[in-house]
Amino acid sequence: MRVVAIINQKGGVGKTTTSANLCHAIAESGKKVTVIDLDPQGHLAVSLGIRLQQHGGIDEAMRGEKTIQEQIIQVRHNLQLITSGSRLQEIEQLTGNVSHRGDLLKNALQTGLDDQDFIFIDCPPSSGLLVVNALFACDEILIPMTSDFLALQGLSHLMGTVKRFEKVLKKHYTLWLVISRYTPNRKISKQVLNILLSHFPERVLATAIKETTLLAECPSFGKTILEYSPESRSAKDFRKLANDFLEGKVMYGRK
């Protein structure tokens, strides 16, 4: 089982869009996927058509009040969701020794998901305790990146955090970058992409997800792009991205 955290402390870069659509595409390819909404905003659940604001989710599992099995919602064939729950924000605000609070998620995931091929974790736009929990729990980090200058600044901060965790936890994360809101006709997009390719050789997944109206629309219908517009370019891109991820297909050279 691969545990993958979708992380970027910058807001609005496409973490939740990538979580919903990539997980659905991987599930459609036949793999068993569980996706966890680790963001108190609860946008992943909404994107997948679930509106259960008062329902408990990963919050109760992290507190040890419920098991993971009790919190699972089967949302599509091969795809199960664990919602954030209404009290996840309280965990973000816990104080005290981080090493004692950082493994709540890892512990919650120990049992009950043995039959799954993948666990994905949609992280909030912060670098607080919830993201610390995701870093304790995961082996792989997938970073959605927009192609603008400030996103690059944020990425170097994130990489500093990742390096610190690798040292403290004595582990090595497999890193993936996804170009998530690509606007190919902007000069800056290509420039940022080339900087990413030179700093992260063989880590940028081969398919860039373009900024499109359809992708912006589908969350309001509680549908993924594979349902909302299955023949669209964006749906094809997410299917290709799923394949890239499963086969480790990355971009090479300058664009």
Ligand X SMILES: Nc1ncnc2c1ncn2[C@@H]1O[C@H](COP(=O)(O)OP(=O)(O)OP(=O)(O)O)[C@@H](O)[C@H]1O
- Rounded to whole angstroms, the maximal C-alpha distance in the chain is 51
Residues 154-193 that bind ligand X (CB under 6 A): 180-181
Among 4, 13, 15, 61, binds Mg ion (CB under 5 A): 15
Q: Which of residues 49-108 bind ligand X (CB under 6 A)?
A: none
Per CB under 6 A, 209 contacts ligand X: yes
Q: Does 43 bind ligand X (CB under 6 A)?
A: yes
Contact 164, 127 (CB under 8 A): no
Residue with tokens 């690798």: 166
CB 174 within 8 A of CB 139: yes
Q: Is 76 helix (H, G, I), strand (E, B) or coil?
A: strand
Task: Note whether 140 binds ligand X by CB under 6 A.
Answer: no
Beta bridge partners of 79: 33, 76
Asked if residue 117 binds ligand X (CB under 6 A), the reply is no
* Distance in angstroms (rounded) separating the CA atoms of residues 42 and 217: 17
User: Which tokens in the block code for residue 89?
Assistant: 């924000």
By CB under 5 A, which span of 16-24, 63-71, 88-96, 140-148 interacts with Mg ion? 16-24
Query: Of 47 and 78, which has the nearer Cβ to Mg ion?
Result: 47
Binding site for ligand X (CB under 6 A): 11-17, 39, 43, 125, 180-181, 209, 211-212, 215-216, 219
Binding site for Mg ion (CB under 5 A): 15-16, 43
